[in-house]
Amino acid sequence: MIINLNEDNNIKKVEDIIKKHDNVIILYFSDLCYHCNVLKPTWFKLCTHFKNTNDVVIINAEFNNIKQLKEKYKEGVSGFPTILKYSNGEKKSEYVGERDLRNLKKFVKK
């Protein structure tokens, strides 16, 4: 499941999804960020790979739209891009490493 967090999303519904799923990956990014724009093609491939997978939820949270999220889900976001993994609403880890498709897939699956 892929969710693009924007003003049209019901933020409560998105937070419920974060709480109820065991493997939620959130990309916090800014359209003005150079590194985020470099990551976009690889991230698109990652989303395409997992879009029909029921056990993975990927949320794309653009900077202008994350102010709606509870502070709990913004904790640890000090720059862009930031990739965090949640399990049943609890932060499990932050992605640190090469931003290539192979390593990002490993992060999602572990």
Positive or negative, the CA dihedral 2, 87, 62, 71 is positive
> What are the chain's domains?
2-109 (3.40.30.10)
SS3 55: coil
Over residues 29-35, mean pLDDT? 93
43-52 pLDDT tens trace: 999 999 999 9
Q: pLDDT at position 73, please?
A: 72
Per-residue pLDDT for 14 more than 90? no
Which positions ≥6 away from 53 have C-beta within 8 Å? 1
Positive or negative, the CA dihedral 53, 56, 57, 61 is negative
52-107 pLDDT tens trace: 988 999 999 887 777 767 677 777 788 899 999 999 999 999 999 999 999 999 99
Q: What is the pTM of this model?
A: 0.89
Q: Identify the H or E element spanning 30.
A: none
Which of 1, 31, 30 lies closest to 14, judged by CA? 1
Token pair for 85: 């993994």
